[in-house]
Structure 1
Amino acid sequence: MTYLQEPPVGRWPGQNRCAFVVTVGFEAELSVLAAAPDAVDRAKSLSVGQYGGNRGVDRLLAELARFGTRASWFIPGSNLLTYPRQADAVAAAGHEPANMGWALEDMGQQTLSQQLESIGRAQDAFDVLLGISPQGFRAGRGSFAAGLPEQLAGLGFTWSSSWHGDDLPHFHAASAADLVEVPRHHELDDFPYFVFNLDPPIPKGSPRIASSREVLRNWILEFDAYLAEGLCFVLTLHPEIIGTPGRVGMLRQFLEHVNSCSGVWQATGGEVAQWWRQNAAPNSPSHPAEIFHTLTREGAPA
C-alpha cells in the first residue's frame, strides 16, 4: 500500500515514527442520559451504561496493565462521586485523569459561563477526591463556546482532545497558544461502532452492532497508515463498550499489533501536548484552528 508521504525525521521523541495515545471516556450511564434524557427513570436502559462502572473499568484496567499502556482517562466530575473506587483505581494504576465537565452536558447548549461552571465544578471534585488538578480536557458533547480555549489556558489546562480537524496536534490559536489540541476521530472510537440500546433506541434508527472483526481491521488499517505518515493516532475507548469479554479481546489483538511495530512512541495526551508545545512551530495563519478562532471570537457569530 502506498501512503501519502514519508514521516519527517525527528518529529517524535527518540526518532520514533508516530505517536500512539489511548484515551478513555469513563461516561457510564451518563452516555445513556446524554442520548436519551427521558431514560432517567429507566433502570434497564441505565444499566447499559452502568456496566462500564461495575465491570468494564476493571477489565479495561487489567488489559492496559497487560501491555504497560498508560492512558488518559476523561472522567465527568459526577462519576468521581458515583464510582469512587473505580476513579481511585485509575489514578493508582498511573493513568492520567482528565476533565470532561461535570455530567456530560451538551456544551453546544451552554453559554461560556455555564461551560466554565461545569468544568470548574469537576476540577474541584478531582482536587477534593483524588488530590489532583487535571491539565487535559475533552468536550464530551457539543462544542466549545467562543473564548473557552483562552479560559482553559488561563485556568492551567495545557491540552484538549475535543476536535477532529487534524491528525497531528496543533495549538488552539495565537490567542490560546498554551493550549494544545490532540485531535481524535470517530473511526478510532469504539462508541460509533458498538453503542446500542433497544428502547429508547440509541443510536436512533440504527438496528445494528458492528462486527468486532471488521472494527479491528479498521483500526489496524488506520494505525498502519498513521505509522507510515508519522502522525498521532488517538484511540478512544469507553469501559461500558470495550469492556465486555469479547471486545476487550479485540482490544488485546489491536494492542498486540501496535506493540509489534517499531518506531511507535506510546504516550499520554498530556505527554504528547508537552512535546508539541516544546518542539513544534506555531500554527500557520491558514490553519483551520486559526481561522475558526478568528471567526468565533467572543461576540462574533459562531
Structure 2
Amino acid sequence: MTIAWPDGRAAAMVITVAFEAELAILAVAPDATDRAKSLSVGTYGATRGVPRLLAELARRGTPSTWFVPSALLERYPEQVGAIRDAGHELANCGVALEDFGALDTAAQLALVRRAQEAFRHTLGVLPTGFRVGRGEMSPGLPGALEAEGFAWTSSLRGDDRPHFHAAPAERLVEIPQHHQLDDVAYFAFNLDPPIPPGSPRIAPTGDVLDNWITEFDAYHAEGLCFVLTLHPELIATPGRIGMLAQFLDHVHNQDVWLATAGEVAKFWSEHGPANPPDHPVEVFHRIIGETTV
C-alpha cells in the first residue's frame, strides 16, 4: 500500500523523546533511592541532556513529541516548560513509569487521568497522546483512552505505518515504535544495579549512526513512518549529540515529512485506510476475544 503523505512527501518521520530522569532507574530498582551515582545519570539527562537535545532540535527546526511522567512536572519545571515553550508536543506516559502490565484497566486509566490532571494544572496542557512507560496496555485501555478524548497511542510494534486500534477504539490511532530505533537498545548501561541485566556493552556511535541511516533509508524507500525514540541521558552526551546531528542532517536532506506524533495521528485519522482483517492488531483482538468468552 502506497501512502500519500502530506505535500507529496515520500515518507514520514516522528522523533519521540522519553524524558524520565531518575525514574528510569527507580522504576526498575526501587531500592536505589540512596544510590547517588546511579541516580545522577537521570539527573544529568534532566539538567544537561534536555537543554542540549532541545538545542539540537532547534538547529534545523526539527519537531518532536516528548513523553514525560507527570511526577517530573514539578521536579523539573524549568526543563518541561522549555520543552513546551519550544513548541514540542507533550504526551502522557503515566505518573512514575509504573509497570502497567501488573495493573488492570481501571488502575491503568486512573494513572492516565492523574497524569492528565497534572499536565493541566502545572502546564495548562492537555496531552492527546499516550505511551506505556513500562509494561503493557491492558486490552481494555485503548477503548478507555478513546473515551477519555485521546487521539493516539504509541506503544505497539506490529507495523511500520500508523494504524487504528481494534473495536471499540476504531478511531484511536497507533503510531508503532521498534527497538532498533530506540537509543536504549544501544546505549543504556548502569553497572550497579545492572540495567539492563546481563552485562550489556555500549555500542559505538558510528555503528548506531550506520544502523539508523540504513533503517531510515529503507523506511523512506517504502514510504513508511519512521519513529525514533530518544532519551536525554543517553543521546545528549557531547559525542552522541554530534551523532544525532549527523543523522538529522541526513534526514533533512531527504523528501520526508517531519512531524509530531499528534500531527501524524491527525493525518491518519482523516486519510488513513481501515485496518485489513489480517492486521496484527485485529488478529490479537480476535484472539483475546476468544480467550475471554
Normalised to the residue count of structure 2, the TM-score between the two structures is 0.97
Offset at residue 278 of structure 1 (A): 0.5
Report what 2:163 is aligned to.
170
Cα 1:297–1:146 change in 2 (3 A) is: farther
Decide which of 29, 35, 56 is 1:36's aligned counterpart: 29
Report what 2:139 is aligned to.
146
Cα 1:104–1:17 change in 2 (3 A) is: same
Report what 1:105 is aligned to.
98
Decide which of 279, 282, 290 is 1:290's aligned counterpart: 282
Which runs of 5 or more residues in structure 2 are unaligned? none
Cα 1:33–1:299 change in 2 (3 A) is: farther
Question: Matched residues in 1 for 2:266 and 2:97: separation?
Answer: 26
Q: What amino acid is aligned across from residue 177 of structure 1 in structure 2? A: E
Offset at residue 34 of structure 1 (A): 2.1
Report what 1:264 is aligned to.
256
Cα 1:208–1:114 change in 2 (3 A) is: same
SS of equivalent to 2:13: strand
Offset at residue 298 of structure 1 (A): 11
Report what 2:273 is aligned to.
281
Which runs of 5 or more residues in structure 1 are unaligned? 1-6
Report what 1:3 is aligned to.
none
- The Cα offsets for residues 38-62 of structure 1, whole Å up to 9 and x where unpaired, read as 2122111111111111110000000
Q: Is 1:194 aligned to residue 187 of structure 2?
A: yes
Offset at residue 299 of structure 1 (A): 8.5
Report what 1:59 is aligned to.
52
Q: Is 1:75 aligned to residue 68 of structure 2?
A: yes
Q: What amino acid is aligned across from residue 34 of structure 2 in structure 1? A: D
Report what 1:85 is aligned to.
78
Q: What amino acid is aligned across from residue 273 of structure 2 in structure 1? A: A
- The Cα offsets for residues 184-226 of structure 1, whole Å up to 9 and x where unpaired, read as 0000010111011111111111241111000000000000000
SS of equivalent to 2:74: helix
Normalised to the residue count of structure 1, the TM-score between the two structures is 0.94
Report what 2:212 is aligned to.
219
Asked whether the 8 Å contact 1:147–1:298 carries over to 2, the reply is no
- The Cα offsets for residues 148-174 of structure 1, whole Å up to 9 and x where unpaired, read as 000000101000111111000000113
Q: What amino acid is aligned across from residue 300 of structure 1 in structure 2? A: T
Question: Matched residues in 1 for 2:225 and 2:209: separation?
Answer: 18
Q: Is 1:238 aligned to residue 231 of structure 2?
A: yes
SS of equivalent to 2:292: coil
Asked whether the 8 Å contact 1:168–1:182 carries over to 2, the reply is yes
Offset at residue 294 of structure 1 (A): 2.7
Question: Matched residues in 2 for 1:212 and 1:236: separation?
Answer: 16
Report what 2:14 is aligned to.
21
Question: Matched residues in 1 for 2:291 and 2:283: separation?
Answer: 16
Offset at residue 35 of structure 1 (A): 2.5
SS of equivalent to 1:206: coil
- The Cα offsets for residues 239-285 of structure 1, whole Å up to 9 and x where unpaired, read as 11111111111100000000111x20011001111111111111112
Identity within the alignment, %: 59
Q: What amino acid is aligned across from residue 117 of structure 1 in structure 2? A: A
- Give the length in aligned residue pairs: 293
Q: Please give the residue correspondences for 1:124-135 in structure 2 after superposition, counting only pairs within 5 Å.
A: 124-135=117-128
- The Cα offsets for residues 65-94 of structure 1, whole Å up to 9 and x where unpaired, read as 001011000000101111111110000000
Report what 1:4 is aligned to.
none
Report what 2:87 is aligned to.
94
Asked whether the 8 Å contact 2:143–2:167 carries over to 1, the reply is no
Q: Is 1:180 aligned to residue 167 of structure 2?
A: no
Offset at residue 295 of structure 1 (A): 2.8
